[in-house]
Amino acid sequence: MKERSRSHKALVVSMRMTISEVMTAVKKFLREDAGYEKLTISSVVAIEPDSKWKVIAEISGIGPDRKEVIVDDKDGKVVSYKQA
């Protein structure tokens, strides 16, 4: 899987969603569907060949917890969610 930072100019043309849209979708998913209130997005990476975004979120609570969320760039839906 080839991963690149969103700042790479080639990705500006090939990816449909902005980083802000991806972060909003992930925050909404983690709050509404997964039930986490306190979270911080620590990483957003475009996975160019698959047209997906990999997002790492830090969950606050009893102890530190990291979640990896994969978002489809075509429709903005979460396609994967797991412990990071």
Q: pLDDT tens, 8-35?
A: 444 444 789 999 999 999 999 999 999 9
Helix (H, G, I), strand (E, B) or coil at 28: helix
Query: Measured between alpha carbons, how far is 39 from 3 in angstroms, rounded to an integer?
Result: 24
CATH class of 9-83: alpha beta
* H or E stretch covering 58: strand 52-59
* H or E stretch covering 29: none
Q: What is the pTM of this model?
A: 0.80
